[in-house]
Structure 1
Amino acid sequence: MSKRRIKKIAIIGSGIMGSGIACHFANIGVDVLLLDIVPRELNDKEKAKGLTLEDKEVRNRLVNDSLTESLKSKPSPIYDKAFASRIKTGNMEDDIAKVKDVDWIMEVVVERLDIKQQVFEKLEKYRTPGTLITSNTSGIPIHFMSEGRSEDFQKHFCGTHFFNPARYLELFEIIPGPKTDQEVLDFLNEYGEKFLGKTSVIAKDTPAFIGNRIGIFSIMSLFHAVKDMDMTVEEVDKLTGPVIGRPKSATFRTVDVVGLDTLVHVANGIYENCPKDERHELFKLPGFIDTMMEKKWLGSKTGQGFYKKIRKDDGSSEILTLDLETLDYRDSKRAKFGTLEQTKTIDKVEDRFEVLVNGKDKAGDFYRKTFAALFAYVSHRIPEITDELYKIDDAMRAGFGWEHGPFQIWDAIGVEKGLKMIKDEGHEVDSWVAGMLESGSDSFYSVKDGNSYFYDIPSKKQEKIPGQDSFIILDNIRKTKEVFKNSGVVIEDLGDGILNIEFQSKMNTIGGDVLAGVNKGIELAEKDFAGLVVGNQAKNFSVGANIGMIFMMAAEQEYDELNAAIKYFQDTMMRMRYSSIPTVAAPQGMSLGGGCELSMHADKVVAAAETYMGLVEFGVGVIPGGGGSKEMTVRAQDTFRTGDVELNTLQEYFLTIGMAKVSTSAYEAFDLGLLQKGKDIVVVNKHRQLAVAKQQAKLMADIGYTQPVKRTDIKVLGKQALGMFLVGTDSMEDSNYISEHDKKIANKLAYVMAGGDLSEPTLVSEQYLLDLEREAFLSLCTERKTLERIQHMLKTGKPLRN
């Protein structure tokens, strides 16, 4: 069988979804042809320019406007603005013949079967046999779409459903048609995981597939519960957000972002096409939703939905909330529940579920009612929408941002307890659940030898979840592979001679316990192992140093202790750099301050594509003090080339720190000098990241790793650079661009990055720069305004400009 390669894809339809998918293919290095229809009439701007309907600018207006709009949206659909050049635009009349040269054609036009069928008829005239052809539909049955098409078309055709926004939501549903070749499904399944960085789920051709069938049920169930239990919008959003591992936008705010019309469209589709669904009536829209649809209160796109942002007379803005009884907007009310107070000390979300369903207040009633309905519903969807229960959980985690899928939540509560809840709420489960308990399995999942298993209904046994061989799941190996543990880290043996240091502190901040753990990991690896990875599978790699500890020492004026603490941080970073074994950092999510510094001192970084990296210390009134200021100086001089204006290069690195720039992706971190081209690598699928990091550490060890020699050859520019920086900060203060304290911090950084006020360019050691950096950091910690900044950040989580 010939190996398929996707070098070029044609995307038909450039709406929000089509443009978003085009950007994500461009993200992974694929050439994209994005096509849309030709406008029927000129707009005012075109008339004023004297254009006609035959002009290319007019004919490609729809596609070009859509793509431009998409690229401007926040959060950005593209990893790096330069990647947009991989997308070529065109229209369905002049450019359709170009689809003959692509490896995959994807249709993303309006959700109407007749229009989709017309598009496929046109495409078939130009499609080269053997080319993949798929539809990104969120619910139209796949078997209707390929009717009347050729045998070759039908063999290579299926549904490939991305969730919006395509870059950020991980679910990639693959829905076979009646004649889809198995080879096509296997290819797309692997391609989704490996290249697109998705969780691929092969679904059955049932209305709304897996993610939307369960997700929309869950939302509709809440809509009805709100009325039955007389709850407010704020109360539901409080109960269905981060406390249960769901996004901050919870329920109603999420509906506002997605658009109420989108939700109603899918709910109506399920109501019309699933008459035998035992909860059929639940998909009927409650009265308040009908009214909102009539009034076009669709959410963010129409300026109001369940929430409405208004401008007050003084220019400030305020968010009002919809009262579901009166359907008037009112001031927001804070929601408070005793049950939630009991979970405040429980860090792990899965440990909270038991407490939540035992609640004696309205919150407890709410959780028992909604979880019971959800558990019963998902039990009946097997084998209707999928044969394997883990696919339902995968779809909800990857498509709706839930930390745990329904069966995982049920396991956390206990299967027997869940069954009692379901019975108490007047629901029934499918018979296979009783069969599972009779067969001796008392949970839907289990872990054995570091692998996850699920209860397989036909065989009545726990079977291994496929595809895990390319992943390392720390939750599965932590207990059995632990080598060392303290309050800040767990060190695990990943096998093949590679150790992993996993941070376990709050928000993965780096304090004394974490630094002790990093030193211990290096010591253990140097003694008995071949290499070391620093990585975790939390939401964020690390938000930086423990600023609470720094604040306490500075406020108490314990400057000797503070100096020792900073030196300990610096020495640990240098130990990462100069150990006798290869070190690999695996950052993902927020990798700020100290987290960024640690990554910069590893031999190699294997970053997840969604890594937001930056040296953000200016926000708390200091400069990077864990080797970051030194490292940016070293990297600037390492990029000096003969004939360069060295001052300009140094200035770029200075501004990265001075403006507290944070990359919006790992690829942007290369542009900022925080990652290094030719050395560090990016992994699009974050679930594969640790396995790749381990592989890279092993590779360096296998080819013969040599301990690096400490550097003494760093060229600093002295007074020449310092003078330029000081003139710059003066003029920025004069034009009110920075405050007096900003200038003080910037001047301290300038002194470090210039290498002091040396009279001429000089070669210095890393230690020389580290000493300057530590001195500058300490002196800033004696400033009242720095302490105000740190205190403000600790209280509000936001930087203070003072």
Structure 2
Amino acid sequence: MSKRRIKKVAIIGSGIMGSGIACHFANIGVEVLLLDIVPRELNDAEKAKGLTLEDKVVRNRIVNNALAASLKSKPSPIYHKDFANRITTGNLEDDIAKVADVDWIMEVVVERLDIKKQVFEKLEQHRTPGTLITSNTSGIPIKFMSEGRSEDFQKHFCGTHFFNPARYLKLFEVIPGPKTSQDVLDFLNGYGEQFLGKTSVIAKDTPAFIGNRIGIFGIQSLFHQVKELGLTIEEVDKLTGPVIGRPKSATFRTVDVVGLDTLVHVANGIYDNCPDDEAHELFKLPDFINTMMENKWLGSKTGQGFYKKVKGDNGKSEILSLDLETLDYRSKKRASFPTLELTKTVDKVIERFPILVKGKDKAGEFYRKNFAAMFAYVSHRIPEISDELYKIDDAMKAGFGWEHGPFQIWDAIGVEKGLEIMKAEGKTPAAWVNDMVASGNTSFYTVKDGATYYYDIDKKAQEKVPGQDSFIILDNIRKSNEVFKNSGVVVEDLGDGILNVEFQSKMNTIGGDVLAGLNKAIDIAEKDFAGLVVGNQGANFSVGANIGMIFMMAAEQEYDELNMAIKYFQDTMMRMRYSSIPTISAPHGMTLGGGCELSLHADKVVAAAETYMGLVEFGVGVIPGGGGSKEMALRAQDTFKKGDVELNTLQEYFLTIGMAKVSTSAYEAFDLGVLQKGKDIVVVNKDRQIATAKAQAKLMADQGYTQPVKRKDIKVLGKQALGMFLVGTDSMEASHYISEHDQKIANKLAYVMAGGDLSEPTKVSEQYLLDLEREAFLSLCTERKTLERIQHMLKTGKPLRN
């Protein structure tokens, strides 16, 4: 089989989805040709300029405006603003011939079969035989789209369905047409996972494929339950959000973001095209949805949906909720349930499900009804939409942001217990589930030798989930490969002489037990192993140091102990850098404060593309105290060039900390200086991150890693820099850009990064800077306003400006 390379793609259609997909291809370094239709008439601005319909700027107006709007949207579809240069725009009349020299053409036009067929007719006249051609449809059967096309077209044609937003949602459904070649399917499945960083799932050509079929069922099922149980929309969003491992936007807020019309379109499609579905009637829209559609209450895009943002008389914004009985908007009501209180101390979401279904209140009843309906529904979708149950779980996790798929949740509750709940709710599972239990299989999944196995219905046995060989799944090896454990970390043997230290604290904060675990891991690695990775597969790498502990010590004025605690943090970071084995940090998600400092001190960083990294200590009234302030001064010095205005370079690093800048992707972290070009690397698929970090550690060890020598050659600028910083903070405070306390923190940071008030530029050691940093950190912990900031952050999770 010839090796296919994707160097250039053409995306046809520049709407929200088309532009988003174009940006994601640009994210991974692929050249993109983005095409859309030519406008039929001039707009007012064009008329005023005296332009005609023949002018290029008019002909490309639709595509250029769509791409510009996409690049401005939040969250951004692109990893780095410079990556947008990889996208060329054009229109379907002047530029369609250019599709002859691309490797993959993807159609993302309006969801109408007649229009799609016209587009394919046109594309086939210019497409080079052998080129991949796919449709991002979310529901039109693939078999109808390729009718009447040539043999070569049909062989290379299938559905490739991204979920919106294309950068952030991981599901990539590949849907074969009647004649799609196996080579094409295998290629796209692998490409989606390895290059696009997605969870690729090969689906069947059934209405709404896998993700939307199950996801829309879940939402429709809730729409009907809301009325039945008399729940408010706030209550449903409370019950279906983070408590069960779903996104914060839960159910109704998600529908507002996606758009009610989108959801209705898919639900109607399923209702019309799946007459034999046992839950057919559930896809009928309840009255309140029809009324909302008539009123154009579609969500964020029309300014109101289930929620509506209004400005009060006092000028403050308030979010109102829709009362589903009266269909009037009212102030939001707080939702609380005794059952949810019982799960507050249970950190792992998967361990909450058995507690939730036992609830004696309305929440317990809701979960029993909800899960009974979902379990029954997914069991009946095999083999209709998929032959393998793990694909359904993969699709729900990757497409809808669920932490656990339906079969995993069923396993957590217990297969027998699930059947019992279904019976009580009048739901019947598919026959294969009863067969499975009768044959002595008590769960849908098992873990053996670090790999996940699933129950294969045809073989009536546990089979290995394919495609795991390029991943290391910590959940699967934690018990069997554990080398050391305390309350803060688990240290696992990854094989090939590489250890991994995994944080286990709440939100992966770094406190005394985590630091002790890190030191122990370095001890073990130096004695018996070749390298160390610091990585985990939680929602976030680490949100920073345990500020609760700092607050307690500072409030009780235990300054000696606080000094020791900060020194312990600094010393641990220095051990990361100066150990005799290579250390690799594998950050992803939020990597803030102390989590960022740890990465700054690793020999190499293998960051997930979705890493939001920065030193944010200013928000809690202190400066980075775990080596972060020292490190930024050191990195500024390392980038001084001959004839450089050194003060300007130092100032950039100073502002990164002073403005608490956080990257919106790993690629932006290079701009902030928290990742280093030529040394640190980025991985697009987070599932491959630990395996890649392990490979990097092994490579460094195999190439003969030498313990670095402690640095004593850091050039600090002394008074010259300090003076400039103090003048700057003074004018910012005078113009009310920063508060008096902000100025105090900034001046302390300036003192550290200038290396004190030395009379001339001097070379100092890292330890000299660490001592200055610790002193500044401690002195800020004696300030009442700093304690107020820490307390506010602990209570609300938001920074206080005082």
TM-score (norm 2): 1.00
Deviation at 1:761, TM superposition (A): 1.0
Deviation at 1:438, TM superposition (A): 2.1
- Aligned mates of 2:284, 2:547 — CA distance in 1: 51
Higher deviation after alignment, 87-96 or 422-431 = 422-431
- Aligned mates of 2:229, 2:777 — CA distance in 1: 55
Quote the residue 1:722 is aligned against. Answer: 722
Amino acid in the other structure paired with 1:51? L
- Residue pairs, 1:603-642, within 5 angstroms: 603-642=603-642
- Aligned mates of 1:225, 1:655 — CA distance in 2: 52
Question: CA offsets per residue over residues 612-635 of structure 1, 9 Å max, x none?
Answer: 000000001110000000000111
Quote the residue 2:536 is aligned against. Answer: 536
- Aligned mates of 2:649, 2:99 — CA distance in 1: 44
Quote the residue 1:148 is aligned against. Answer: 148
Quote the residue 1:509 is aligned against. Answer: 509
User: How big is the alpha-carbon RMSD for the aligned residues of Structure 1 and Structure 2?
Assistant: 0.6
Deviation at 1:394, TM superposition (A): 0.1
- Aligned mates of 1:785, 1:610 — CA distance in 2: 34
Amino acid in the other structure paired with 2:507? M
Deviation at 1:734, TM superposition (A): 1.1
Quote the residue 2:577 is aligned against. Answer: 577
Asked whether 1:33 is paired with 2:20, we answer no
The gaps in structure 2 that reach 5 residues or longer are none
Amino acid in the other structure paired with 1:292? M
Question: CA offsets per residue over residues 759-801 of structure 1, 9 Å max, x none?
Answer: 1111111111111111111111111111111111111111111
Amino acid in the other structure paired with 2:466? P
- Aligned mates of 1:766, 1:342 — CA distance in 2: 48
- Aligned mates of 1:671, 1:521 — CA distance in 2: 31
Deviation at 1:424, TM superposition (A): 1.3
% same residue: 86
Residue 480 of structure 1 aligns to a residue whose secondary structure is coil
Quote the residue 1:117 is aligned against. Answer: 117
Question: CA offsets per residue over residues 671-723 of structure 1, 9 Å max, x none?
Answer: 00000000000000000000000000000001110000001111111111111
- Residue pairs, 1:313-712, within 5 angstroms: 313-712=313-712
Amino acid in the other structure paired with 1:271? Y
Quote the residue 1:226 is aligned against. Answer: 226
Quote the residue 1:792 is aligned against. Answer: 792
Deviation at 1:660, TM superposition (A): 0.2
Amino acid in the other structure paired with 2:516? A
- Aligned mates of 1:544, 1:66 — CA distance in 2: 38
- Aligned mates of 1:306, 1:250 — CA distance in 2: 12
Amino acid in the other structure paired with 2:85? S
Deviation at 1:228, TM superposition (A): 1.2
The gaps in structure 1 that reach 5 residues or longer are none
Quote the residue 1:24 is aligned against. Answer: 24
- Aligned mates of 2:4, 2:372 — CA distance in 1: 45
- Aligned mates of 1:778, 1:420 — CA distance in 2: 58
Amino acid in the other structure paired with 1:579? S
Question: CA offsets per residue over residues 726-748 of structure 1, 9 Å max, x none?
Answer: 11111111111111111111111
Residue 310 of structure 1 aligns to a residue whose secondary structure is strand
- Aligned mates of 2:320, 2:792 — CA distance in 1: 27
TM-score (norm 1): 1.00
- Residue pairs, 1:226-305, within 5 angstroms: 226-305=226-305
Amino acid in the other structure paired with 2:539? K
- Aligned mates of 1:418, 1:368 — CA distance in 2: 9
Deviation at 1:439, TM superposition (A): 2.1
- Aligned mates of 1:86, 1:779 — CA distance in 2: 49
Deviation at 1:477, TM superposition (A): 0.6
- Aligned mates of 1:434, 1:552 — CA distance in 2: 55
Amino acid in the other structure paired with 1:36? D
Question: CA offsets per residue over residues 197-227 of structure 1, 9 Å max, x none?
Answer: 0000000000000000000000000001111
Question: CA offsets per residue over residues 531-587 of structure 1, 9 Å max, x none?
Answer: 000000000000001111111111111111111111110000000000000000000
Question: CA offsets per residue over residues 67-114 of structure 1, 9 Å max, x none?
Answer: 000000000000001101100100000000000110000000000000
Deviation at 1:387, TM superposition (A): 0.4
- Aligned mates of 2:316, 2:538 — CA distance in 1: 36
- Aligned mates of 1:336, 1:393 — CA distance in 2: 29
Residue 520 of structure 2 aligns to a residue whose secondary structure is helix
Deviation at 1:3, TM superposition (A): 0.5
Amino acid in the other structure paired with 2:780? L
- Aligned mates of 1:335, 1:778 — CA distance in 2: 41
- Aligned mates of 1:456, 1:794 — CA distance in 2: 47
Residue 160 of structure 1 aligns to a residue whose secondary structure is strand
Higher deviation after alignment, 556-565 or 681-690 = 556-565
Amino acid in the other structure paired with 1:373? A
Amino acid in the other structure paired with 1:394? D
Quote the residue 1:208 is aligned against. Answer: 208
Residue 470 of structure 1 aligns to a residue whose secondary structure is coil
Amino acid in the other structure paired with 2:303? G
Quote the residue 1:771 is aligned against. Answer: 771
- Aligned mates of 1:313, 1:337 — CA distance in 2: 33
- Aligned mates of 2:791, 2:340 — CA distance in 1: 27
- Aligned mates of 1:799, 1:361 — CA distance in 2: 36
Residue 523 of structure 1 aligns to a residue whose secondary structure is helix
- Aligned mates of 1:303, 1:169 — CA distance in 2: 24
Question: CA offsets per residue over residues 584-641 of structure 1, 9 Å max, x none?
Answer: 0000100000000000100000000000000000001110000000000111111111
- Aligned mates of 1:550, 1:427 — CA distance in 2: 52
Quote the residue 2:134 is aligned against. Answer: 134
- Aligned mates of 1:704, 1:669 — CA distance in 2: 29
- Aligned mates of 1:313, 1:117 — CA distance in 2: 53
Residue 452 of structure 1 aligns to a residue whose secondary structure is strand
- Aligned mates of 1:5, 1:192 — CA distance in 2: 13
Residue 11 of structure 1 aligns to a residue whose secondary structure is strand
Asked whether 1:64 is paired with 2:80, we answer no
Higher deviation after alignment, 394-403 or 426-435 = 426-435
Aligned positions, number: 802
Amino acid in the other structure paired with 1:78? I
- Aligned mates of 2:428, 2:76 — CA distance in 1: 44
Amino acid in the other structure paired with 1:384? E
- Aligned mates of 1:605, 1:683 — CA distance in 2: 10
- Aligned mates of 1:115, 1:522 — CA distance in 2: 61
Where do 4+ consecutive residues of structure 1 move more than 6 Å? none
Higher deviation after alignment, 428-437 or 671-680 = 428-437
